[in-house]
């Protein structure tokens, strides 16, 4: 008994771009949608990433413009603050500080400082226009790194949205094409059966 060798199905790549008498207009439209979707997704991702980097850098610059460093004096013993368990992940603790502005007015507030310094030690803190202590602004390499990370996170998300929209349009075309095939088969199928029956007669 002769065994029939298994049928090998070869996948034809880029078939929508090749000459084919069975190719429909919807196949060509789908090919262009896929191409345009990928191109637009890459473009939107690049633009969104650059915009995110620029926005992040502008935010860091604006924050730096609203704050300035001042030399302050510790009024708390930070050793006691450490023992009280007020430290954070970076090891700094909250302590009361006092400083005098350029007009000679004294101000007091709480700032995060390195633990272990005795009261009366000099520390540098950042204050805003209302003479309140604020976190030190991110500058230099840290600001560049955070801006780059913002672009890296935003770019693929924006590209994915555009690609997903193109995918939805493509799926609608596929469903439409399947409906057209179904309608045509309902018309041709019975005639095909009659032709096959006539051939056997």
pLDDT tens-place string over residues 171-193:
888 788 788 777 877 777 676 66
Q: Is the pTM of this model over 0.85?
A: no
The label of the residue with tokens 């992940």 reads: 89
Q: Which two tokens stand for residue 65?
A: 């413009």
Contact 123, 74 (CB under 8 A): yes
Range in 68-72, 84-88, 180-184 with the lowest mean pLDDT:
84-88
**Residue of 6, 28, 8, 26 lying closest to 18 (CA atoms):** 28
- Burial of 177 from C-beta contacts in 10 A (0-12 / 13-18 / 19+): middle
């Amino acid at each position: 008994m002769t065994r029939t060798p298994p049928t090998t199905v070869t996948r034809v790549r880029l078939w929508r771009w090749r000459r084919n008498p069975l190719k429909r207009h919807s196949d060509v439209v789908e090919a262009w949608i896929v191409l345009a979707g990928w191109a637009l997704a890459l473009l939107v991702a690049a633009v969104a990433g650059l915009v995110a980097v620029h926005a992040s850098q502008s935010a860091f610059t604006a924050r730096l413009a609203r704050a300035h460093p001042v030399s302050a004096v510790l009024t708390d013993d930070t050793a006691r603050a450490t023992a009280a368990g007020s430290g954070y992940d970076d090891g700094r603790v909250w302590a009361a500080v006092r400083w005098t502005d350029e007009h000679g007015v004294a101000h007091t507030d709480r700032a995060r400082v390195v633990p272990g310094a005795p009261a009366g030690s000099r520390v540098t803190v950042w204050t805003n226009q209302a003479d309140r202590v604020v976190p030190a602004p991110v500058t230099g390499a840290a600001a560049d790194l955070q801006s780059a990370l913002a672009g890296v996170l935003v770019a693929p998300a924006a590209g994915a949205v555009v690609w997903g929209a193109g995918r939805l349009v493509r799926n609608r075309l596929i469903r439409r094409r399947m409906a057209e095939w179904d309608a045509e088969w309902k018309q041709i199928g019975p005639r095909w059966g009659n032709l096959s029956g006539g051939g056997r007669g």
